[in-house]
């Protein structure tokens, strides 16, 4: 198992290097000039040149890339162009917020999708399956921004139960923290639950038609035993993949949801950085997102290997 | 047990004190449309920065609701030597919130820093300043290299904000994250994209503010801003979307201030290349725009149709310049039967998109085809600099002195001259106007310049912006100052 994990980690190094190159190139390909954006309409050509020089934008691209890459290896992602604070510090400030929101959302998603998916598969083609399918499809089709505004309207404006937006850290006030994160987590969790329910339904339905399930039935096991002991364990593998992808996606920035609920997380950091052309911040956020997605998929792989020993020896 | 008693008593009294404190402490939360990027008067280039900096820093002079320059740190001033020498008498006993003294030396430091700091955006506004002299602790002189009428108005904004020299030297480049001034509120903390928190300056020379804590929160989305006001998460919001104004006015819990601003919006034409190096084409496009219809249909009457760069109510506004009426026949005759197709460059956003489409429809009435291209703001400015566009939508937040609304935009090589326009007569008139001191003389000069500019049409003005502020009913004391900056020193929240 340890050898498998090491092999998997080593194989990631070239991938991550390519990611850094793509991130760097992508940001450089964006049209526009950060100096122009920072100085706004009042800039004089002289001030623009001064700023470009102090931002290092006058150096050659390979020079800029290498200094960024060697910095990134030392966890130094440069300084923000807008307010001169360190990018690593900004990310360290925002990442826990998004991490907490994502985990909360995935918990909600898990609590909904597991029972709903199993129920749907076991009671295939009954009214309950059709109802769950309908709900899941609406959940997939409903855009986050719409659901978010709907929840704000209902729970913050009409019922006045939950503040419309904001964030308090878990350490400062746990109760308020959970209250404020509830609506955004539900917004994100419902969408992901809908997807995961469909995944679980289809994989479990398929497993339930397999020969070994029939054998288990023939041995005289109860329906419940067959489903939970034999079928579910196998059906969970694709579910786990989908779960990992969803979580990775959330960590990469729940951009719209954070914008609507004014949560100072990773996604908003990225949006603001894009609008203010804050290149070091964009590079840092995208790089950390890529690493986060890699880590999640790595953990999912380890999870597979634990569930299915055959995978380890590939 | 007897040992514990004093501890319990202490604990009880402490928690009581905390309770009383939290009950009487007044917190006001203000919703803004963007996160203020740079809280340093020298480096700030965003309008929204000024909302926060105005509470932290005192300025030499300020503006009243009629845009008149009024005393602030300077109690009085004299202009001598044919407009070359400004002598300011300063208020005594003023201290920065770090405890250091605000005297003539600090004022000199602040203004010198604004005009010399590397990357300072104030250099242009203060370019006519030759020297700042300390006469005595309460007297400071600004010596100009050439007469510059707008100087006082410039000092009512960031160029006149006085920073604590001790803090500025200590913090260096990080001053924008730890700003220290002498204003009615003290900077406490900021979390990017979440909040900027200020607390009342209890020792403020003009009396402590009535609010204990002032929190600014950014909500880029207009609907989210509106929802947060309705739900009580914020007590004041600026700006509020025009479409929400009527709803708020009809709601007994809120009050809306909707007052004229000093900025304008319109369309630039690139005069350096085809098709708009042809004056007739520029005039044709300008003649198709129905300014009244735009003000009514897109902005619900919260903006005023514009005739030129000086909004009604400001010192240089003049009835000699009138709003251009749409005239499709004139547009067609200017085209002379030739086809006109061009690209209109703009930034994304619901209002700008709508506006661009309305323009497109108005141009089409005269047979003009416009393609809309949307790029983000930095790219738009960059392409304007490089003259890589046909026409673009861009306005200006406005300045209290007329010079700030016209000079850099139309003088040859001006930093805001997006059109690449150059006209010797206009150059001479604009230079003459800024050197004149009497406003009546300046208005006359501007009117002559404007008749040429409007006829040449490197830019066509469409509307003057308004300021829209919505607050809960319990809030009082907010003044509608046309620069759009809310001052919270005298504001009360019940």
pLDDT of the residue at B98: 94
Q: Would you call A127 exposed, middle or buried from its count of C-beta atoms within 10 A (0-12, 13-18, 19+)?
A: exposed
| Nearest chain A Cα distance for residue B85, angstroms | 26
pLDDT of the residue at B475: 94
pLDDT of the residue at B62: 94
Which of A42, A165, A274 is opposite residue B228, by nearest beta carbon? A165
Question: Looking at chain A, how many residues does it have?
Answer: 314
DSSP B294-306: HHHHTTTT-SEE-
Nearest chain B residue to A41 by CA distance is B416
pLDDT over threshold 90, residue B341: yes
- Chain B positions in Cβ-Cβ contact with residue A43 (cut-off 8 Å): 45, 121, 415
Average pLDDT score, chain A: 81
DSSP category for residue B95: B
Taking each helix axis as running N to C, give the angle between helix A279-307 and helix A87-122, from 0 to 180 degrees, rounded to the nearest 10: 40
A302 CB neighbour count, 10 Å cutoff: 16
| Nearest chain A Cα distance for residue B176, angstroms | 7
Average pLDDT score, chain B: 90
Q: Does the distance separating the beta carbons of B228 and A164 come in below 8 Å?
A: yes
Q: What is the mean pLDDT of residues B173-189?
A: 94
Give ipTM to 2 decimals. 0.74
| Nearest chain A Cα distance for residue B416, angstroms | 7
Which of B220, B375, B385 is opposite residue A36, by nearest beta carbon? B385
pLDDT of the residue at B421: 95
Nearest chain A residue to B117 by CA distance is A47
pLDDT of the residue at B191: 86
- Chain A positions in Cβ-Cβ contact with residue B121 (cut-off 8 Å): 39-40, 42-43, 47
Nearest chain A residue to B194 by CA distance is A264
pLDDT over threshold 80, residue B7: no
CB A117 within 8 A of CB A197: yes
- Chain A positions in Cβ-Cβ contact with residue B176 (cut-off 8 Å): 83-84
pLDDT of the residue at B472: 95
- Chain B positions in Cβ-Cβ contact with residue A155 (cut-off 8 Å): none
pLDDT over threshold 70, residue A37: yes
Q: Does the distance separating the beta carbons of B124 and A163 come in below 8 Å?
A: no
pLDDT of the residue at B99: 94
pLDDT over threshold 60, residue B18: no
A&B contacts, CB < 8 Å: 137
Q: What is the mean pLDDT of residues B222-250?
A: 89
B319 CB neighbour count, 10 Å cutoff: 7
pLDDT over threshold 50, residue B17: no
Q: Compare A217 and B12 and report the one with higher pLDDT.
A: A217
| Nearest chain B Cα distance for residue A102, angstroms | 18
Which of A54, A264, A276 is opposite residue B194, by nearest beta carbon? A264
DSSP A47-87: HHHHHHHHTTTTS-HHHHHHHHHHHHHTT---B-TTT--BH
Going by C-alpha positions, the residue among B103, B69, B110, B106 that lies closest to residue B89 is: B103
- Among the ranges A2-16, A268-282, B231-245, which has the highest mean pLDDT value? B231-245
| Nearest chain B Cα distance for residue A3, angstroms | 42
Confidence of residue A30 (pLDDT cuts 50, 70, 90): confident
- Cα–Cα distance, B292 to B306 (Å, whole number): 9
- Tell me the domains of chain B and their CATH numbers: 27-34+183-253+467-493 (3.40.190.10), 58-171 (3.90.76.10), 265-464 (3.10.105.10)
pLDDT over threshold 80, residue A304: no
pLDDT over threshold 60, residue A275: yes
Going by C-alpha positions, the residue among B155, B182, B143 that lies closest to residue B58 is: B182
pLDDT over threshold 50, residue B2: no
pLDDT of the residue at B4: 46
Q: What is the mean pLDDT of residues A44-50?
A: 79
CB A243 within 8 A of CB A106: yes
As beta bridge partners, residue B29 has B215
């Amino acid at each position: 198992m340890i050898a498998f994990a090491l092999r998997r980690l080593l194989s990631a190094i070239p991938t991550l290097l390519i990611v850094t190159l793509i991130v760097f190139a992508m940001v450089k390909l964006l049209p526009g000039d950060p100096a122009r954006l920072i100085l706004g309409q009042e800039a004089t050509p002289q001030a623009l040149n001064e700023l470009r020089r102090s931002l290092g934008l006058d150096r050659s691209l390979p020079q800029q890339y290498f200094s960024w890459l060697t910095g990134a290896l030392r966890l130094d992602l440069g300084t923000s162009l807008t307010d001169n604070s360190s990018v690593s510090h900004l990310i360290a400030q925002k990442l826990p917020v998004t991490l907490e929101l994502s985990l909360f959302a995935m918990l909600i998603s898990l609590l909904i999708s597991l029972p709903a998916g199993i129920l749907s598969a076991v009671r295939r083609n009954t009214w309950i399956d059709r109802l769950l399918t309908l709900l899941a499809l609406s959940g997939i089709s409903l855009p986050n921004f719409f659901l978010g505004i709907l929840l704000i309207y209902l729970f913050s404006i009409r019922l006045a139960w939950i503040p419309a937006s904001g964030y308090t850290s878990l350490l400062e006030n746990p109760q308020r923290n959970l209250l404020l994160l509830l609506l955004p987590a539900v917004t994100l969790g419902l969408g992901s639950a809908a997807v995961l329910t469909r995944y679980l339904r289809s994989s479990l339905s398929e497993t339930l038609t397999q020969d070994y399930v029939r054998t288990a039935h023939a041995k005289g096991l109860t329906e419940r035993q067959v489903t939970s002991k034999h079928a579910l364990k196998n059906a969970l593998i694709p579910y786990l993949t989908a779960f990992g992808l969803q979580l990775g996606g959330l960590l990469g920035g729940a951009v719209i949801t954070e914008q609507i609920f004014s949560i100072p997380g990773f996604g908003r950091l990225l949006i603001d950085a894009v609008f203010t052309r804050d290149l070091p911040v964009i590079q840092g956020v995208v790089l950390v997102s890529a690493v986060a997605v890699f880590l999640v998929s790595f953990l999912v792989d380890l999870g597979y290997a634990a569930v299915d020993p055959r995978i380890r020896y590939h | 047990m007897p040992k514990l008693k004093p501890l319990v008593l202490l604990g009880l009294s402490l928690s009581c004190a905390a309770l009383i404190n939290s009950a009487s402490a007044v917190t006001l939360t203000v919703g803004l449309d963007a996160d203020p990027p740079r809280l340093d008067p020298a480096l700030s280039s965003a309008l929204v920065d000024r909302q926060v900096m105005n509470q932290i820093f005192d300025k030499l002079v300020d503006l009243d609701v009629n845009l008149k320059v009024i005393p602030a740190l300077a109690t009085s001033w004299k202009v001598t030597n044919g407009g070359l020498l400004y002598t300011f008498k300063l208020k005594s006993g003023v201290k920065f919130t770090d405890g250091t003294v605000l005297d003539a030396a600090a004022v000199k430091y602040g203004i010198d820093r604004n005009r010399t700091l590397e990357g300072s955006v104030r250099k242009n506004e203060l370019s006519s300043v030759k020297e700042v002299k300390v006469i005595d602790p309460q007297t400071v002189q600004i010596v100009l290299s050439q007469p510059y009428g707008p100087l006082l108005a410039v000092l009512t904004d960031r160029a006149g904000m006085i920073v604590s020299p001790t803090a500025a030297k200590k913090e260096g480049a990080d001053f924008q994250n730890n700003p220290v001034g002498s204003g009615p509120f003290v900077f406490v903390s900021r979390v990017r994209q979440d909040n900027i928190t200020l607390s009342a300056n209890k020792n403020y020379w003009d009396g402590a503010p009535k609010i204990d804590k002032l929190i600014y929160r950014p909500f880029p989305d207009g609907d989210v801003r509106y929802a947060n006001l309705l739900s009580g998460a914020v007590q004041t919001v600026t700006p509020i979307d025009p479409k929400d104004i009527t709803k708020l006015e009809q709601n007994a819990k809120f009050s809306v201030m909707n007052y004229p601003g000093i900025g304008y919006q319109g369309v630039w034409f690139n005069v350096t290349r085809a098709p708009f190096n042809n004056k007739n084409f520029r005039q044709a496009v300008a003649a198709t725009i129905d300014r009244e219809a735009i003000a009514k249909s897109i902005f619900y009457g919260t903006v005023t149709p514009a005739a030129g760069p000086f909004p009604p109510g400001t010192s240089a506004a003049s009835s000699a310049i009138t709003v251009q009426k749409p005239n499709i026949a004139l547009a067609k005759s200017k085209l002379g039967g030739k086809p006109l197709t061009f690209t209109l460059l703009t930034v994304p956003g619901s209002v700008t998109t709508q506006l661009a489409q309305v323009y497109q429809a108005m141009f089409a009435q005269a047979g003009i085809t416009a393609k809309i291209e949307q790029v983000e703001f930095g790219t738009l400015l960059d392409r304007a600099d490089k003259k890589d566009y046909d026409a673009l939508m861009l306005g200006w937040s406005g300045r209290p002195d007329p010079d700030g609304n016209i000079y850099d935009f139309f003088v040859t090589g001006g930093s805001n001259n997006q059109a690449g326009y150059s006209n010797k007569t206009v150059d001479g008139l604009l230079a003459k106007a800024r050197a004149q001191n009497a406003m009546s003389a300046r208005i006359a000069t501007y009117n002559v310049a404007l008749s040429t500019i409007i006829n040449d049409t490197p830019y066509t003005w469409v509307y003057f912006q308004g300021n829209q502020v919505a607050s809960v009913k319990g809030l009082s004391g907010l003044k509608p100052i046309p620069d759009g900056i809310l001052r919270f020193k005298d504001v009360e929240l019940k």
